[in-house]
Amino acid sequence: MQKLFLKICLFMFISQGALIAKDYNASLFGIKSDGVTLNTPSIQKAIDFISEKGGGKLKFYVGRYLTGSIQLKSNVTIELNEGAVLVGTPSIYDYVGAIGMKALIVADGQQNIGVSGKGVIEGQGPAVLEQITKQIQKGYLQETISQASPALIALNNCSGVNIEGFNLQNACGNVIAFAACKQVRLAGLKIKSTSNKESKGLVFSKVDGIKLENLFIETVQSEIKSDGLSTNVSMVNCQYASGKKLIFKN
């Protein structure tokens, strides 16, 4: 009887352990930090694998990780440690969209997702904008510059979102955009994006449950833009570049 009890306890321990989210080093998936290799397929493969295994963190360490659009999946967090820079590729053809907006990181209908750490997301806004302009002039792109310009993060119909701790800079389009999401938390972010006169900081559309904490935002257009239909908003210690308090105007 005692042996049976011990076996049951061991089984429960192993089963619970399997449900605990794990950490995965980006290099294990062949993701390169040289700033030259386009890592889009490798990063996506890592995200898909982690989500299928029940979730966890994809951890990036010191280096520059060049990528096009990646799709975040349920129960996965991208962790950018200090010295890690996720760099958007200049080629507009390497971006896909969510909520009608192209972005470096996109998600649609996902739960418990996030981006965290002390690293940087670098959009290379001027370089991307230059490529968009050339493609439009040549007739290869039928979109306007505003329509084609990718955000850094765009999430649609997602819940349990946590974006925390890192810097976001040089977006070509808006920095972060949300539509029809629930329970969104943004904390400890430093946002500086002035390369495109159309760029906005945070864009919200029909979002329920927004927590904004310790944010610094410097953009050309609105630091925070809402369609007036977002609900349950709280803000603590959020500032403009001038040092003035940010206000959420719904």
Read off the pLDDT of residues 10-51 as tens digits, 9 standing for 90 and up.
Answer: 344 333 444 467 999 999 999 999 999 999 999 999 999 999
* Mean pLDDT along residues 196-215: 94
pLDDT at 174: 94
Topology adopted by domain 22-240: Pectate Lyase C-like (2.160.20)
Residue 103 to residue 192: CA distance in whole angstroms: 17
Determine the average pLDDT of the residues in 71-78.
99
pLDDT of residue 213: 97
- Other CB atoms within 10 A of residue 73 CB: 20
Q: How many CB atoms neighbour CB 20 within 10 A? A: 9
Q: Where are the domains of the chain?
A: 22-240
For tokens 């938390």, name the residue: 185
The residue that leads in pLDDT, 99 or 235, is: 235
SS3 124: coil
Q: Residues of the chain with pLDDT > 70: what percent?
A: 92
Q: Is the pLDDT of residue 55 over 70?
A: yes
In the chain, which residue ranges form alpha helices assigned H by DSSP? 2-19, 40-52, 125-137, 145-148
The pLDDT assigned to 31 comes to 99
So what's the pLDDT on residue 20? Answer: 62
Which tokens hold the place of 68? Answer: 């096009």
Cα separation, 45 vs 88, in Å, equals 18
pLDDT band for position 105 (cuts 50, 70, 90): very high
pLDDT exceeds cutoff 50 at 93 = yes
- At 140, is the pLDDT very low, low, confident or very high (cuts 50, 70, 90)? very high
Beta partners for 23?
A: 57
Residue 8 has pLDDT above 50, yes or no: no
The model's confidence at residue 240, banded by pLDDT at 50, 70 and 90, is confident
Q: Are 61 and 87 in contact (CB under 8 A)?
A: no
- Digit-coded pLDDT (tens) for 191-202: 999 878 878 999
Distance of CA 66 to the CA centre of its chain: 15
Distances (CA, A) of 149 to 103, 107, 119, 129: 8, 17, 23, 7
Closest CA to 212 of 230, 194, 195: 230
Average model confidence (pLDDT) across the chain? 91
Beta bridge partners of 184: 161, 210
Beta-carbon count within 10 A of 236 CB: 10
Supply the pTM of this predicted model.
0.90
